Structure 1
């Protein structure tokens, strides 16, 4: 009996899905903001759960909370330091290269990072040639995640309807963007920055399945590819 596929395009987030960079960028941003924020404890509360957001938005949130006058060049200096530190320290997510090469679907990357940062991450993880649909980054759309723009652009470029796209995301920001775009979502929990309760948070948002180990991705994608969305939940 011929099986009917329900997925035509795989889209992966970059930071925290392809490369374990969120824990690095979060540390760099926290250290920079500690120089300005009057309370370390309050700062940590504000930063909790902000991974996936653009650093500019996180800085603005902290500035508004504390009433800070952020130096004009603060964001640019932070971005330069953050990207340099990620390039020096962040490693590919274990098993991600082998997993994505084992999946016979077109692949796009949709990220809240800048285009050049995503390109570096793909080189670092050995995935440059695998991403055959393209890179869709925050600096190439009008609105970054949690808006759906990068995901809709990826689907439109590939000529695939959003409901036939399967997304791998780690953050609430990214999951919100993909779900708003009308796509199916796998929540990845295997990066270094993920807190213990994060899986339940993603479930409540509406992710279709949770994944802790990239080596299990090919089998999961194969299963979801031939399961209608209502049938895919465990």
Structure 2
């Protein structure tokens, strides 16, 4: 009996899903801002901001402390973090083999810039695997947590949002994908993920969590043939 597939497109976030880079970006942003504000107060404001663009994180801190930052503050922070990621960023363990083992078209949707995403794909050995496009923050007016970037990926691939499966690590990205009407796997295996993060994703409505990329092909295969709304065994 032929099984019915309910998924036509797999979409992955980049930072924290393909490449273990969020911890580097967070470190650079924290170092830059700690020169301006008390570090213990900064940590409170930064809590739960991963997944946001560094520009938005910096703006949030500036507003809280009533700072007037120089115009080149964010560009310098971004350039430094991207430079370090280019030399130090490592692929998430097992991600290349996992994605090549999945027989679905693949797109990448990220809040990072296009050139940074493409470099990450090259570093992970995934450039050829991503056959349905790279969708970066500059392509939409409203990046994650707005659904725009995911809706653009689905539209470009001529796939209905409800037939897309997304792999995301952050609450920001999961919110974007869920708002777009897509099914979401929450990935917990990057080095920046705090212990309680799985519960945060659950509360948002993410039904499936994953800590090891080696398990992704089997999970995708199961979800692909599981009718949306059904309870998996």
> Are positions 1:15 and 2:20 aligned together?
no
- For the 8 Å contact 1:147–1:177, the answer to whether it is kept is yes
Seen in structure 2, the aligned counterparts of structure 1 residues 233 and 73 have a Cα distance that, compared at 3 Å, is: farther
1:62-211 correspondence to structure 2 within 5 Å: 62-211=61-210
1:30-41 correspondence to structure 2 within 5 Å: 30-37=30-37, 39-41=38-40
- For the 8 Å contact 2:226–2:232, the answer to whether it is kept is no
- Deviation of the 1:107 alpha carbon: 0.1
TM-score of the aligned structures, taking structure 1 as reference length: 0.98
- For the 8 Å contact 1:208–1:233, the answer to whether it is kept is no
Q: 2-side partners of 1:201 and 1:79: how far apart?
A: 27
- Deviation of the 1:125 alpha carbon: 0.3
Which residue of the partner structure matches residue 29 of structure 1? Answer: 29
Q: Per-residue displacement from partner, 1:69-108 (whole Å, max 9, x unpaired)? A: 1111101111111100111111000000000000000000
Q: 1-side partners of 2:232 and 2:25: how far apart?
A: 33
- Deviation of the 1:208 alpha carbon: 2.2
Instruction: Specify the SS of the correspondent of 1:108.
Output: strand
Q: 1-side partners of 2:189 and 2:162: how far apart?
A: 25
Which residue of the partner structure matches residue 5 of structure 1? Answer: 5
- Unaligned stretches of 5+ residues in structure 1: none
Q: 2-side partners of 1:67 and 1:128: how far apart?
A: 42
- Deviation of the 1:142 alpha carbon: 1.1
TM-score of the aligned structures, taking structure 2 as reference length: 0.98
Q: 2-side partners of 1:215 and 1:232: how far apart?
A: 23
- Deviation of the 1:233 alpha carbon: 4.9
Q: 2-side partners of 1:62 and 1:233: how far apart?
A: 42
Instruction: Specify the SS of the correspondent of 1:168.
Output: strand
Q: 2-side partners of 1:160 and 1:232: how far apart?
A: 24
Superposition RMSD in Å? 0.8
- Deviation of the 1:232 alpha carbon: 4.7
Q: 2-side partners of 1:205 and 1:4: how far apart?
A: 28
- Deviation of the 1:2 alpha carbon: 1.4
Instruction: Specify the SS of the correspondent of 1:132.
Output: coil
